[in-house]
Structure 1
Amino acid sequence: MENTTLFQAQWRWPRFLFCHFFAAALLGLWLFEPVRAAFFTFDTQLFHLLNAPLADNAAWRLVWAIASLRPFDILVGLILLCLLIRGDWLYPAVQVRAATLGFIATLIMLLVIRVLFTKLAKHTGWQHASPSERIPGAVHLSDYYPEWERRFELKDRSSRSFPGDHASVLMIWALFLGCFVRTAWQGLLVGGLAVLFMLPRLVAGAHWASDDYVGGLVMALLALAWSMYTPFAAWASAHLLRLTAPLFRPFKRVPLLNRLSVVRLP
């Protein structure tokens, strides 16, 4: 980035409107019955493709059972955080803290949108059960690992799987970092990780694919629009930089931590 500031404190109308148009078009297609039937067929076929091998392949079943545990989400979060705060990769090291705080502000925007969108989905009857609840013969990982289910919660079913809130977080992370990618490899890594970490819920049957690529993406696009393409991200990042500066000072004296760009700079 050559700009001295990471975020633009202005309305970027073309991108703002494009995000809303794309989100509205995607949701509209999903609600249009003939197209929705095609979505359902694709979702069902994809679920069978991903879920059926769990019945006969113990190694495959173990891998996805681990990936469907709640504690695994912590590992995923750490991986995403490491890429977010890595200096001189997508943005200069001196701007890492601003980028991190801007992303936190974007997550807050996503939370607000998710609450409103979920209420809308409930009011309009868009909510539905997950494929593991609706498709006969679906493989439930919790049946194979009941102790893991009891202790850690295996995310393999849901009575209200739309929209995909887990996917919305992964997508907003990918879209946010996508605003700063400079090479195709960076874009492939960011997008590939988002898709990879969405797979456990799809394999286990906690979500239909359209819960993610419709519901999750719609929320992420709206959050991106209202955060990155309005003055909000610039305003929130600037204020959070000032408010959190005293919190980072003690960590500058901690070995290893003081080498992180988010702690050391600015």
Structure 2
Amino acid sequence: MDKDVRIQAAWRWPALIGLNLLALAVLASWQLPATRALWEAANLWLFQTLNSSLNQHPLWDWLWALTSIRLCDILVAALMLTLLIHPRWVFREQELRPAFLHFLALLVVLLIVRVLFTKLAIALGWQHASASVQVPGAIRLSESFPGLERVFELKDRSSRSFPGDHASVLMLWCLFMALFTRGWKLLFSIALVLFFMLPRLVTGAHWLVDVAVGGLFIALFSFAWAYCTPLASWIAAGLERLCQPLLPLLQRLPLVGRLGVLRNR
């Protein structure tokens, strides 16, 4: 790889060990009796605090209803992708494609980890219904906005809410971007992730532990084994080889061909 390109997964033993220990510590804090009660109390307090703010003002309800639909998830993904491949945001021109392909590799690893971790959670009885299903009197925005629910699938309930896969993707993106951003851009990335994790908590689609334990565990574990080992670079190299035959065609398309991520380095 070009020595001027900073994006390269490799063996990083201190980070690999540290991230795995942190992920296990987060999971253990939810399972150990000494701290389990604290998580349960925080679960209920946060849900009641956030959910009770609904049905107070129409604009407030619209905000969380619109940010809870699947279309918003697609728009958020597009925003994160734009920031990732924008040549004047974080990465230099020659880094755009490696950054994009490495992040795709991270997502591949996250998908595998999520599937395996979800199966483990089911087998060990960690799975549970969302807050809006379990707490009596919970306010469901799907009932207040039946049109949005019918057309766009408003996410405010689930029979299996652990772990929070939506949050894990957001946190994985933030971990990756945090390696290369500083100052206000880093703060913006963190604020963006925190804001777009809120809708699931406000509507009760997830408990706090679904996000702060399940989602964080998946993000940390995936990032550790993908980027703190050569794995992501191996996957990215394979994706690069697969994409090479398509590049000449894509480069000739109007607008699309101007994207820095498609230009030959």
The TM-score normalised by the length of structure 1 is: 0.94
2:10·2:227 contact (CA, 8 Å) conserved in 1?
A: no
- Alpha-carbon distance, 1:3 to partner: 4.1
1:213-228 paired onto structure 2 within 5 Å: 213-228=212-227
1:7·1:228 contact (CA, 8 Å) conserved in 2?
A: no
2:50·2:202 contact (CA, 8 Å) conserved in 1?
A: yes
- Tell me: CA distance 1:9–1:54, structure 2 relative to 1, closer, same or farther (3 Å): closer
Code of the residue aligned with 1:223 in structure 2: it is: S
1:99·1:237 contact (CA, 8 Å) conserved in 2?
A: no
RMSD: 1.5
Q: Aligned pairs, how many?
A: 264
**What residue ranges of structure 2 are gaps of 5+ in the alignment?**
none
1:1-266 paired onto structure 2 within 5 Å: 3-8=3-8, 10-181=10-181, 183-266=182-265
- Alpha-carbon distance, 1:92 to partner: 1.2
- Alpha-carbon distance, 1:261 to partner: 0.8
In structure 2, C-alpha distance between the alignment counterparts of 1:9 and 1:55, rounded to whole Å: 47
Code of the residue aligned with 1:43 in structure 2: it is: N
- SS of the equivalent of 2:251 reads helix
Query: What per-residue deviation string (whole Å, max 9, x for no partner) do you get for residues 138-162 of structure 1?
Result: 1000111123212221100111111
In structure 2, C-alpha distance between the alignment counterparts of 1:22 and 1:100, rounded to whole Å: 26
- Alpha-carbon distance, 1:257 to partner: 2.1
Code of the residue aligned with 2:192 in structure 1: it is: L
- Alpha-carbon distance, 1:117 to partner: 0.3
- Alpha-carbon distance, 1:197 to partner: 0.8
- Alpha-carbon distance, 1:9 to partner: 5.3
2:5·2:94 contact (CA, 8 Å) conserved in 1?
A: no
Query: What per-residue deviation string (whole Å, max 9, x for no partner) do you get for residues 175-198 of structure 1?
Result: 1111222x2212111111111111
The TM-score normalised by the length of structure 2 is: 0.95
In structure 1, C-alpha distance between the alignment counterparts of 2:158 and 2:3, rounded to whole Å: 45
In structure 1, C-alpha distance between the alignment counterparts of 2:161 and 2:9, rounded to whole Å: 36
**What residue ranges of structure 1 are gaps of 5+ in the alignment?**
none
Shifted more, 105-114 versus 242-251: the winner is 242-251
In structure 2, C-alpha distance between the alignment counterparts of 1:144 and 1:265, rounded to whole Å: 50
Query: What per-residue deviation string (whole Å, max 9, x for no partner) do you get for residues 43-67 of structure 1?
Result: 2111122111212221111111111
Code of the residue aligned with 2:134 in structure 1: it is: R
In structure 1, C-alpha distance between the alignment counterparts of 2:239 and 2:63, rounded to whole Å: 39
